[in-house]
A and B are shown apart, each in its own frame.
Chain A
Amino acid sequence: MIEINGKDIGDLTTLNYEKMKSDLLTLNMGPQHPATHGVLRVEIKTDSEIIAEATPYIGYLHRCFEKHAEKIDYRGVIPFVDRMDYLGAMGMEWGYALTVEKMLGTEVPRRAQYIRTIVGELQRIASHLLFYGVYAIDLGAFSPFLYAFDEREKVLRLFEELSGARLLYNYIWIGGVWNDITDDQLRRITKFVDNLEEEVKTYHKLVGENKIFIERTANVAVISEEMAYQYGATGPILRASGVDWDLRKKRPYGIYEELDFDVPLGKGEKGQVGDCWDRYHVRVQEINESIKILRQCLDGIEEGSIMGKVPKVLKVPEGEIYLRTECPRGELGYHLVSDGGKTPYRLKIKSSCFTHVSMLPELAPGQMIADFVATIGSIDIVLGEVDR
């Protein structure tokens, strides 16, 4: 007689499989797991390969940035917001700078606006290239990762020349940008963009059109339009579900109003609208749109100063503001409350990845473990932004 959890399941010759089936296995995925893209822990209850329940646990990368910001002057906060989404740091800085500028009423020079748009879109390209590479690794392909990193490296190199750092730039300052961009660098961006357009086509052929990739991603983790609304999804995830919402179009900031670009939407080409393949495809198309925007900026960039008039000792007038921008991973919102002092009274940051992680418990049940890896990969979270 064999007993499992106090239940008699018969002897070795007459094992009662029906009774054995009734228990679920609890597994911890993460916090050190290559598929969770950082320090996310997901507690999953599985029935053999099928997931019955998944609970994400966050907080492993919590660094108290919101509280820190209350003690540092407005300029010193920028290195901290950099460290939230460390793969899309330009977007983080841009949002913060816009928030403070709006409170101060600072006019940003045209040249600085153009440079901000250029670096912002380059950052989007770099971030989506990283997604492309890492997602392919999640699903078992290695070479796409190397190709994408080769291209991404060119962007990082350019950022290093502009700002001095490869990931955490502290480049977009309140009132403008730190360093001016040279004509030589602009020419290099033109060359990079021309080359990238061809590369992206190859990339899509290599991964997106691959039958194995389609089988692994089509119809997996479908996020319907309704569900995306309910959870407050933003960015590529919302657009993959077929919702035409891009802040750059709907609530333009900077010079986006003058630029001409499309918003790619998920169409359910390989399966249902809002599946993993759609989320992948929206991002690849967004690289092309960013290229379009970059070309217009490179043509239209104006001469002039790169720093607006900002007092040496920054004191933001009393009041509060909520401002959101479109970052590579979705909407980022800053709620800044000022009491008129040298430091923010309160800085609350709304992160898009946080809302996306909260979708996991609804997406996971009924999936295979391997599909769950594809799901986490497709929502493209950065844990630095989730925990802040």
Chain B
Amino acid sequence: MSGITPDISDFATKENLDYYDDLTFGKWLKNIGITIKSCLTGLAITGKVILTKKAVTIEYPEVREELPSNSRSRLFNDVDNCIACLQCAAACPVDCIYITATRRDKEAPKLKTDDGTPIKLDLKQYTIDTALCCYCGLCTVVCPTECLTHTTDYEFSQYTVGEMKYDYLEEDIRAWKHRIVK
């Protein structure tokens, strides 16, 4: 080590270690007495808590917590009701919603969402990269048909980042509708 002046080590002098300066035998005994007393006070409080308070933890995999109903967890888009208006993608601050849609054929049968909004575009892709998502909830607020919602499902860890990308048009993800949507 270079550039260190040796005299800095004078920090370990008596002045810096003034803890024992005016310690008499009487004070020493008194200190021990106060310490024991305050430790006993602490132990009395802990003892009271042990006897009177119920356990506040839950044993996780066996007991699962029910989250409040407007908890913002995994996103779910009910694609049958989505009109591909792109408002959610515009509102998202991290741009993690990818939507592709084409204009619907004039001859094709007319489709409507559950709340009666006509569907004019065919959704080809609706993907959310939930690894990028910050679960802020801004996309669900702007959705006019309320098809995009947060669910209370919180167990969705994956081994790779790619698996966190959900295409909501896929059959198995569509099936969540009956499983996790409130």
Interface assignment of B23: CB less than 8 Å from any CB of chain A: no
Task: Assess whether A24 is in contact with B93, with CB atoms less than 8 Å apart.
Answer: no
Contacts of A250 in B (CB 8 A): none
**In chain A between 1 and 48, which residues have their CB closer than 8 angstroms to a CB of chain B?**
5, 21-24, 26, 45, 47-48
Task: Assess whether A164 is in contact with B150, with CB atoms less than 8 Å apart.
Answer: yes
Interface assignment of B119: CB less than 8 Å from any CB of chain A: no
Contacts of B92 in A (CB 8 A): 76
The tally of residues in A whose CB lies under 8 Å from a CB in B reads: 45
- Smallest CB separation, A210 vs chain B (Å): 5
Task: Assess whether A165 is in contact with B12, with CB atoms less than 8 Å apart.
Answer: no
Among A47, A78, A179, A212, the residue within 8 A (CB) of B11 is: A47
Given contacts A79-B138, A170-B138, are A52 and B8 in contact (CB under 8 A)? yes
Task: Assess whether B39 is in contact with A210, with CB atoms less than 8 Å apart.
Answer: yes
B61-72 interface bits toward A, Cβ cutoff 8 Å, 1 = contact, 0 = none = 000000110111
Segment from B41-49, B97-105, B121-129, B165-173 that makes contact with A: B41-49
Given contacts A22-B6, A26-B1, A170-B137, are A210 and B38 in contact (CB under 8 A)? yes
Contacts of A80 in B (CB 8 A): 93
CA distance A206 to B48 in the complex (A): 12
Contacts of A83 in B (CB 8 A): 134
Interface assignment of A191: CB less than 8 Å from any CB of chain B: no
Contacts of B71 in A (CB 8 A): 160, 164-165
**In chain A between 128 and 165, which residues have their CB closer than 8 angstroms to a CB of chain B?**
141, 143, 147, 150, 153, 157, 160-161, 163-165
Task: Assess whether B39 is in contact with A212, with CB atoms less than 8 Å apart.
Answer: yes
Contacts of B45 in A (CB 8 A): 202, 205-206
Given contacts A79-B138, A366-B16, are A50 and B11 in contact (CB under 8 A)? yes
Task: Assess whether B9 is in contact with A52, with CB atoms less than 8 Å apart.
Answer: yes
CA distance A206 to B44 in the complex (A): 9
Interface assignment of B108: CB less than 8 Å from any CB of chain A: no
Given contacts A50-B12, A164-B72, are A211 and B31 in contact (CB under 8 A)? yes
Which label, helix, strand, loop or mixed, suits the secondary structure of the A interface?
mixed
Total A-B residue contacts, Cβ distance less than 8 Å: 102
Task: Assess whether A79 is in contact with B38, with CB atoms less than 8 Å apart.
Answer: no
**In chain A between 202 and 222, which residues have their CB closer than 8 angstroms to a CB of chain B?**
202, 205-206, 209-212
Task: Assess whether A170 is in contact with B136, with CB atoms less than 8 Å apart.
Answer: yes
Contacts of B138 in A (CB 8 A): 75-76, 79, 170
Task: Assess whether A50 is in contact with B16, with CB atoms less than 8 Å apart.
Answer: yes
Task: Assess whether B11 is in contact with A164, with CB atoms less than 8 Å apart.
Answer: no
A180-212 interface bits toward B, Cβ cutoff 8 Å, 1 = contact, 0 = none = 000000000000000000000010011001111
Task: Assess whether A205 is in contact with B136, with CB atoms less than 8 Å apart.
Answer: no
Contacts of B6 in A (CB 8 A): 21-23
Interface assignment of B29: CB less than 8 Å from any CB of chain A: no
Of the A-B pairs whose beta carbons lie under 8 Å apart in the complex, a sample of 18, sorted by A's number, is A21-B6, A24-B8, A47-B8, A50-B11, A72-B93, A76-B93, A79-B136, A79-B138, A143-B46, A143-B49, A153-B56, A164-B150, A165-B72, A168-B135, A179-B70, A206-B42, A210-B41, A212-B38
- Interface of A toward B, CB cutoff 8 Å: 5, 21-24, 26, 45, 47-53, 72, 75-80, 83, 141, 143, 147, 150, 153, 157, 160-161, 163-165, 168, 170, 179, 202, 205-206, 209-212, 365-366
Q: A168-B136, A211-B34 are in contact. List 12 more A-B contacts (CB 8 A).
A: A21-B6, A24-B9, A26-B1, A45-B4, A52-B9, A79-B136, A160-B71, A164-B150, A165-B71, A202-B45, A211-B31, A211-B39
- Interface of B toward A, CB cutoff 8 Å: 1, 4, 6, 8-9, 11-12, 16, 31, 34-35, 37-39, 41-42, 45-46, 49, 56, 67-68, 70-72, 91-93, 134-138, 150
